[in-house]
Structure 1
């Protein structure tokens, strides 16, 4: 039986780090992981992330849409891996 786990992230960086950990450290297939904005609009998240946070004020950004959180979901065929996914999502502040 298949299980889907879905969490949202405030920044694109958090979402990407969670995905990379799942793929590189835990062997999940990238094709089983899906990424989309939470809302209808294209979005890079709702917060400035990474190195930009220290150098650019959020209200000065105009190069990336800050419309909504980033949704990451993963389809699991092996439900015993759910705890691993939950742990990685939590590590990167997935809600």
Structure 2
């Protein structure tokens, strides 16, 4: 998306599950183009978040919490969007559990 009326909205999440939920809300409920939404580790380490969720909770054998999940830090979701869409995108991110929502 290229325009003078475009901002990048960023938010961090503790789990990949929450980041995925935020992305789905942005795309399906608010009509943000999926190609304008990005997810990555907030830091230098490979990570699926800071705590287990979804498939990271229990190992395939069902005998406890997995210990091999890459839980090295938060996830960063960023979305490039028109100025008119900032409020609804912030709401979608916060509803999904975002922390540190910012616009640049």
For the residues of structure 1 that align with 2:96 and 2:6, how far apart are their CA atoms?
24
**What are the equivalent positions in structure 2 for 1:7-86 lying under 5 Å apart?**
7-50=11-54, 52=57, 56-57=64-65, 60-62=66-68, 64-76=69-81, 78-86=82-90
Structure (1 or 2) with the greater strand fraction: 2
Q: 1:91 aligns with which of 87, 92, 95?
A: 95
For this pair of structures, how many residues does the alignment match?
Answer: 90
Q: After the TM superposition, list the runs of 4 or more consecutive aligned residues in structure 1 that deviate by more than 4 angstroms.
A: none
Tell me the TM-score normalised to structure 2 length: 0.79
5+ residue gaps, structure 2: 100-104
Task: Please tell me whether Structure 1 or Structure 2 has the larger radius of gyration of its CA atoms.
Answer: 2
Structure 1: any 5+ residue segments left out of the alignment?
none
**Matched residue of 1:82: which SS?**
helix
Q: Deviations over 1:8-54 (max 9, x none)?
A: 0000000000001111111111110011101101100011113627x
